[in-house]
Chain A
Amino acid sequence: MTLVRQTSPHARGPNSTQQVMKLVLLATVPGLAMQTVFFGWGTLINLIWCVLIALGSEALILKIRRRPISFYLSDGSAIVTAVLLALALPPFSPWWLTLIGVSFAIIIGRQLYGGLGNNPFNPAMLGYVLLLISFPQEMTQWLPPMGAEGHTAVKSFSDALFSIFPLFGHGISVDAISMATPLDVVRENNSLTMKELWLENPALQYFAGRGWLWINLAYLAGGLFLIYKKVFTWHAPVGMLAALLVMSTLFWGGTGSGSHGSPLFHLFSGATMLGAFFIITDPVSSATSNKGRLIFGAGIGIIVYVIRAWGGYPDGVAFATLLMNMAAPMIDYYTQPRTYGHKKPNKGLPNDS
């Protein structure tokens, strides 16, 4: 009889990285469902395609790096990256666009830095920004949502499949039916009052975008579920949403033609909720202490609004996330919590204090 020798603790909790990733994937389901309902099968097809590319790229690099493939693939983190990127892409993105984006995210964004846990940037957003800069036309082709004119064209599954993979047949002409997103509409407007704009434009409904309101609400629900499950703390999402709320209130500009849109419009349009609960909560590339995450989130909220209101892109979650990723190590240095038995927390680098 040989007894096991190992160091304490001998008891282990039920947590596992795999479990964390599964919960994240589960929480995206409502948002995914809403996106499919409003924009057709394209999102779902994209998602499956993204996952396949991600697993393939990850396996390829792991093989080159001579790492155990199944051990690393089974943590599910590559799938999460792929799913998040798929949810951010326009529904009928061509297959090659997705291929470039996802393989870049996995290979350059993750594996070249040393794999999971070592990437300084959010890989999904890195892939997204690469595509947005390189292929602006394809990346802004959003379809008419359910309830808007022209939506019937995007309802068919085969149309969606052939639009994405034209190799097997002919899809619809995405160019012909694509329309601006609500954020674009408000940004480009300089003649109509808000009330007129909402009445005239089919992309807008209630106080936010048509369909986008429901999609955002679905992501909000998924995010709250994750907080309840203690996958992450409330700090980063609250920081981002609060900062966005404050910015959009301060620079609202009323209901005239010069308005930047109401605070509610900003909170429930574009990628706000997806970003707040699924993108910026990526623990690897964000700040690590609770206080740091609050600051990290607030920084993103501010930058998102700045890009939306005065920048050159309709939405800014991806850029804001990458910018704050860069600031995360510094935030960490200045947001150490106060240790038990200490009067105040340590700040800065070891030699500063």
Chain B
Amino acid sequence: MNLPLKDITESKQRVWPLTGGVHPEENKHQSTSTPIRPAPMPEKLTLPLSQHAGAPAEPIVAVGDKVLKGQMIAKATGFVSVPVHAPTSGTITAIGKEAIPHPSGMHDDCITLIPDGLDQWCELSPVKEFQSVNPLDLVNLIRDSGIAGMGGAGFPTAVKLSPRSPIHTLILNGTECEPYITADDMLMRERAEAIVAGAEILKYLLNSERCLIGIEDNKPEAIEAVKKAVSQSDNSHYIKVVVFPTKYPSGGEKQLIQILTGQEVPSGKLPSDLGIAVQNVGTAVAVNDAVHQGKPLISRITTLTGEALSSPGNLEVLLGTSTRHLLKTAAVSDQKLATLIMGGPMMGFTLDDLDVPVTKTTNCLIAGTREEFPPAMPAQACIRCGMCAEACPASLLPQQLYWHAKSENHEQLKHHNLFDCIECGACSFVCPSSIPLVQYYRASKGEIRAQEAKHAKAERSKVRYESRQARLEKEQAEKEAKRRANAERAAKLKAAKEASAKQDSSSSTTAAVDPVQAAIERAKAKKAAGATASKPAKTVLSAEQKELKIQLSLANAQLKKTRRALTIAQEKGEGDVEKLTADVSMLETQVAKLQKEFDAASATEQPKVATPDAEAAKKLKIESAMAKAALKKSERALATALEEGNSETEALKEAVEESRKKAEALAKELADATTAAPAKPAAADDEKKLKIEQAMAKAALKKAERALNKAREEGSSELAELEKAVEQSQKKLDALTPAQSQASSTNSQEKSSDPADDKKLKIEKAMAKAALKKAERELAKAQESGSEDIVSLESKVDECRKKLEQLEEGKPSVTVTEPEVSKAPAKVQAGDDLKKLKIENAMARAAVKKAQRALENAEGDTSALETVLIEAQTKAAEAEKALAAGS
């Protein structure tokens, strides 16, 4: 343990004046005449899971469980969170929504405990020699003891004890500047030794040089007691009690720092950035109890005061005790009680429900009469007298803020530093026109926050849109290459066919009169062409390549996620940065390897299908897309840097500029290359081409859907993009289908007896049905998840249904004209159905497998994945059953 450099007890501690401030009537004497007394055991304890700032705790007990006093009943979830402990022994009777103390009067998750009256402690494990324990372990002990700031904000103490920069000064806040409240005052009078002992632990944990205990000069007894405790301590050389004039709001964290050190916490920064940590004296006592006695935070001192109480005072209250019980203890007069305030009269909030529990932050309950807190007077006009500006501890211009808040001029509000307002209420207190100024500021802050969130969302959508655009371009490029390859094949095939036809015609010119025979032959040729046309589309990305691509994208996503986690961790200076860094480098190598493999695979595949020219274009396109992605990344980095006021913004700006240039150059090159690329092959057979295109579109759709499913499973942020891509593909396919059917209908007009057409129609119908089903499923899912795409999905479902209807209308006409083939369709249909079922079954099974794999890999939110898995399993079972029935 580092010994302090100098002894500070003898040096005279200067105090700086508070800017602004007011002198409200103190009203503290009512509750300081009696010592702290324990509140009687209530019949029921209601323990909110969120008594602190940060993520709510998670219950680890079930209804009906018997718990012991001090036993943890809800665990912390995440870094900024603390657990909840049972304040006494008893039975858990309910876990659910209850009224909690909140300005909005909201209900939230609570654990209800019925005391058994035994008040039986669980086993406690006090720390004997805290100096010999690793500070990190002690901080964990403090977190596990459920300690959150006892001054009112309730910020988890363990988080404050893990600062991002070294702390030289620890300040214990014993100011208690709010009128009425005397909880800290009485605590300092009666448990000064515990405060000093807590200060020693906190100082050890923060490794600070000195500790200042700031107390307002209206608490002479407390000052006396704490000074005595300090002088009796072994560590009195670094602990100093500093007394300063009483003025509201001296006890605000920023204000206290100003008074004790003369420094101001820069706007948007934390005290730890100045090397200062501020803890409430109550928190110091809680830390002392947790370390030296092993007791978690299960009770606190709460001031009960106000003119409606006939025996006001300070009570040691078990957390979860209802205010009704406490008011009864303090002999409340129901006739007199008009206003019940939790907290102080300047910053506290009114309660309209007496059954809300006392929480870790409840320092005071004021049961006021109507005379004590008369209803607000109607606000008069602001005469810009400037009394508010004189009172403002942040040197704001409340009169100007009020003016701009009324006209909802958000720019001006921000320009007048609205967000530096600490909502202390000094301006409202002095306003001669009784204008509820703080209320205006709260409302405006809310509005601005909402608007900024909206802007941020729009910005994100823009980024998404751009990346989608880039991806579509890439896809388009790939498609172009495929189409060219297919066209070449088709041309070759046609040439071959023509050659054979010539042979045929030369061998038997008279035989080729039968139109049916000719139609069959044509259908065969078509089928062959279709087969050859669809094959290359698949071979463009071989199975191996596909697998590699999927792996690559997965690895990339993982890398991105890890990188984000890493940056967050680095920013906050918390979490396991080293492990994350290692993960990132590992993932990077993995990605590089996969990329190489994929490149190699595509290099071996590509020449087969793509002409050198097209290949170059493709490469260019990929490069361009990559450049664009890089540009976007650097832009995003720049945006975050700007937001945080990072010093690297200049460098980032340059990087963005560079990326943009590169992307532009590539885009231009690409445009040149594609225009220079060979013109589309001569339209050989329009219908055929259309079919090929359609097949390709279908493949693209399938791919997009698969990607979408994967994204859903992984809860990826690109979900919306993918959905859009699917939709796009679907649209394209839809666009192609009519064209094709038109083409084929011209065909069938010539040869309506063609049985292949009938079959085709059926296939189309089946496909349309499948599409409809899929769309409906998607819609249902979207509705479940409350997605915004419901409307578009609904329209898609309608579209699919319409298409199906059209097809159904088309079919009978064929069957009527061709009665001889009308029997065959049933069989074909049955076979078709079976096939479809089989495919569905296989797909469902694959989905189950995939979901299982994802679940295994997933670490964070598995519940969503679990439901996906269950869904997939039921679907697979259904498919299997259907298949069994079908075969």
Q: Which residues of A contact B (CB under 8 A)?
A: 1-13, 15-17, 19-20, 71, 75, 77, 115-118, 230-233, 283-284, 286, 288-290, 332, 336-343, 346, 349-351, 353
User: B429 is contacted by which of A9, A283, A289 (Cβ under 8 Å)?
Assistant: A9
A11 adjacent to B267 (CB under 8 Å): no
Quick one: closest B residue to A71, CB to CB? Answer: B378
> Considering the complex, which residues of chain B in the window 172-204 have a beta carbon less than 8 Å from any beta carbon of chain A?
179
Of the candidates B24, B334, B397, B416, the one having the most CB atoms from chain A within 10 angstroms of its own CB is B397
Q: A342 CA to B384 CA in the complex, in Å?
A: 24
Whether B436 contacts A7 by the Cβ 8 Å rule is: yes
- 20 new A-B pairs (CB below 8 Å) besides A4-B350, A10-B368, A341-B254? A4-B375, A6-B350, A7-B442, A9-B428, A10-B348, A11-B425, A11-B429, A12-B428, A13-B430, A75-B380, A117-B381, A117-B383, A232-B386, A290-B386, A340-B393, A340-B394, A341-B269, A342-B417, A351-B411, A353-B415
Output the least CB separation between B94 and chain A (Å).
25
In the bound complex, residues from chain A placing their C-beta under 8 Å from that of B341 are 10
Q: Name which residue of chain B comes closest to A348, CB basis.
A: B415
Interface string of B359-392 (1 = CB under 8 A from A): 0000000001000010111101111111101100
Determine if B400 is an interface residue (Cβ-Cβ < 8 Å).
yes
CB distance B397 to A288 under 8 Å?
yes
CB-CB contacts below 8 Å: B422-472 with A: 423, 425, 428-434, 436, 438-439, 442
Q: Using an 8 Å CB-CB cutoff, how does the interface string of B768-804 with A read, 1 for contact, 0 for none?
A: 0000000000000000000000000000000000000
What CA separation (Å) do A98 and B334 show in the bound complex? 58
Identify which of B112-120, B258-266, B702-710, B850-858 touches chain A: B258-266
- Does the CB pair A13–B384 fall under 8 Å? no
15 pairs, A vs B, C-beta closer than 8 Å: A3-B338, A4-B338, A9-B429, A11-B179, A11-B373, A12-B428, A15-B432, A17-B380, A117-B381, A283-B383, A289-B386, A336-B400, A337-B396, A346-B417, A350-B414
* Residue B339 CB within 8 A of the other chain: yes
Check if B318 is an interface residue, CB within 8 A of chain A.
no
For residue B346, CB closer than 8 A to chain A, the reply is yes
Q: Which residues of A contact B346 (CB under 8 A)?
A: 8-11
Distance between Cα atoms of A284 and B338 in the complex (Å) = 37
Write the nearest CB–CB distance from A135 to chain B, whole angstroms.
30
Q: Is B641 an interface residue (CB 8 A)?
A: no
How long is the Cα–Cα vector from A19 to B385 in the complex, in angstroms? 13
Shortest CB-to-CB span from B264 to chain A, Å, is 5
Residues of B within 8 Å of A7, CB to CB, are: 103, 349-350, 436, 438-439, 442
Please pick, from A2, A230, A337, the residue contacting B352 in the complex, using a CB distance under 8 A: A2
Alpha-carbon distance between A340 and B389 when the two chains are bound, in angstroms: 13
Closest to A19 in B: B432
Please name all residues of chain B whose beta carbon is closer than 8 Å to the beta carbon of A342 when the two chains form the complex. Answer: 266-267, 417, 420
* Interface class of chain A by DSSP: loop
Q: What is the bound-complex CA distance between A272 and B19, given in angstroms?
A: 33
Q: Is B230 positioned at the interface, with any CB of A under 8 Å from its CB? A: no
Enumerate the 5 nearest inter-chain pairs by beta-carbon distance, A residue then B residue, closest first: A9-B425, A117-B381, A341-B267, A350-B415, A15-B432
- The complex places the Cα of A232 from the Cα of B383 at a distance, in Å, of 12
Residue of A nearest to B336 (CB): A1
Structural contact, A9 and B438, CB atoms closer than 8 A? yes
Determine the residue in chain A with the shortest Cβ distance to B354.
A3
A116→B385 CA distance, assembly (Å): 12
Asked if B337 CB lies within 8 Å of chain A CBs, one says yes
Contact A13 B24 (CB under 8 A): yes
Chain B residues lying within 8 Å of A117, measured Cβ to Cβ, are 381-384, 433
Q: Are B399 and A288 in contact (CB under 8 A)?
A: yes
Determine if B345 and A10 form an interchain contact, defined as CB atoms under 8 angstroms apart. yes
Q: Once the chains bind, are A339 and B394 in contact (CB under 8 Å)?
A: yes
> Which residue, A11, A283, A290, has most C-beta atoms of chain B within 10 A?
A11
Asked if A3 and B337 sit within 8 Å, CB to CB, the answer is yes
Given A7-B442, A10-B373, A15-B432, A283-B345 contact (CB < 8 Å) = no
Given contacts A11-B24, A346-B416, contact A3 B179 (CB under 8 A): no
Which of B334, B375, B417, B430 gathers the greatest number of chain A CB atoms within 10 Å? B417
Q: A233's contact among B386, B399, B414, by CB below 8 Å, is which?
A: B386
Contact of B389 among A9, A284, A286, A288 (CB under 8 A): A288
B412 at the interface (CB under 8 A from A): yes
Q: For A353, what are the chain B residues with a Cβ–Cβ distance below 8 Å?
A: 415
How far is A342 from B19 in the complex, measured between Cα atoms in Å?
A: 14
**Closest-CB distance, A234 to chain B (whole angstroms):** 12
Interface centre among B268, B350, B390 (most CB of A within 10 A): B350
- Contact yes or no, B395 A337, CB < 8 A: yes
Contact B395 A339 (CB under 8 A): yes
Q: Is the CB of B103 within 8 A of A13?
A: no
Which of B258, B385, B397, B438 touches A340 (beta carbons < 8 Å)?
Answer: B258
Would you call B820 an interface residue if the criterion is a C-beta within 8 Å of the partner chain's C-beta atoms? no
B382 nearest CB across to chain A (Å): 5
Q: B432 to chain A: which residues have CB within 8 Å? A: 15-17, 19-20
Q: In whole angstroms, how far apart are the Cα atoms of A299 and B434 in the complex? A: 32
The CA-CA distance from A75 to B179 in the complex, in Å, is 29
Q: Nearest chain A CB to B61's CB is how many angstroms away?
A: 33
Q: Which residues of A contact B347 (CB under 8 A)?
A: 8-9
CA distance A349 to B386 in the complex (A): 20
Closest to B25 in A: A11
Residues of chain B within 8 A of A71, CB atoms compared: 378
B-side contacts of A9, CB under 8 Å = 345-347, 425, 428-429, 438
Is B92 close to A, CB under 8 A?
Answer: no
Interface core residue of A5, A17, A339, A342 (most chain B CB under 10 Å): A339
Distance of A8 Cα from B334 Cα, bound (Å):
23
Instruction: Tell me, in angstroms, the Cα distance from A339 to B398 when the chains sit together.
Output: 12
The answer to whether A13 and B411 touch (CB under 8 A), given A116-B383, A117-B383, A288-B400, is: no
Q: Are A233 and B390 in contact (CB under 8 A)?
A: yes
> Per-position contact with A for B219-259: 1 when CB-CB < 8 Å, else 0?
00000000000000000000000000000000000100010
Please measure, in the bound complex, the distance between the C-alpha atom of A12 and the C-alpha atom of B374, giving whole angstroms.
9
- CB A101 to nearest CB in B, in angstroms, measures 22
Contact between chains at A288 and B378 (CB < 8 Å): no
User: Taking the complex as formed, is B290 at the interface, i.e. its CB lies under 8 A from any CB of chain A?
Assistant: no
Is B22 in the interface zone, CB < 8 Å from A?
yes
Q: Flag if A13 contacts B19 (CB, 8 Å).
A: no
Residues of A within 8 A of B412 (CB): 350
Tell me if B351 is interfacial: C-beta within 8 Å of chain A: yes
Query: Across the two chains, which residue of chain A brings its CB closest to B351?
Result: A3
CA of A17 to CA of B383, assembled, Å: 8
Q: Does B340 contact A (CB under 8 A)?
A: yes
- Given A3-B337, A4-B338, A10-B373, A77 and B352 contact (CB-CB distance below 8 Å): no
* Contact in complex: A15, B387 (CB < 8 Å): yes
**B380 and A283: CB pair below 8 A?**
no
Q: Would A116 and B381 count as touching, CB distance under 8 A? A: yes
Inter-chain contacts of B438 with A (CB < 8 A) = 7-9
Q: State the CA gap A116–B433 with chains docked (Å).
A: 11
Within the complex, which residue of B25, B350, B377, B396 is in contact with A339, where a contact is CB–CB below 8 Å?
A: B396
C-alpha spacing A2/B387, complex, angstroms? 34
Shortest CB distance A65–B (Å): 13
Cβ contacts under 8 Å, A2 to chain B: 352
Closest to A349 in B: B415
When the two chains form their complex, are residues B382 and A340 in contact, meaning their CB atoms are under 8 A apart?
Answer: no
Shortest Cβ distance from A282 into B: residue:
B383
Residues on A with C-beta less than 8 A from B429 are 9, 11-13
Query: Are B352's CB and A3's CB within 8 A?
Result: yes
Whether the pair A3, B350 counts as a contact (CB closer than 8 A) is yes
With A17-B383, A232-B385, A340-B258: A4-B373 Cβ-Cβ less than 8 Å: yes
Known: A332-B400, A336-B397, A341-B267. A5 touches B385 (CB 8 A): no
Question: Which of chain A's residues has its CB closest to B439's CB?
Answer: A7
* Max chain B Cβ within 10 angstroms of own Cβ: one of A8, A75, A232: A8
Contact indicator B399/A340 (Cβ below 8 Å): no
Report the Cα distance A290→B386, complex, angstroms: 9
List the A side residues contacting B24 at CB < 8 Å.
Answer: 11, 13
Q: Provide the bound-state CA to CA distance between A339 and B105, in Å.
A: 33
Bound state CA distance, A98 and B378, in angstroms?
33
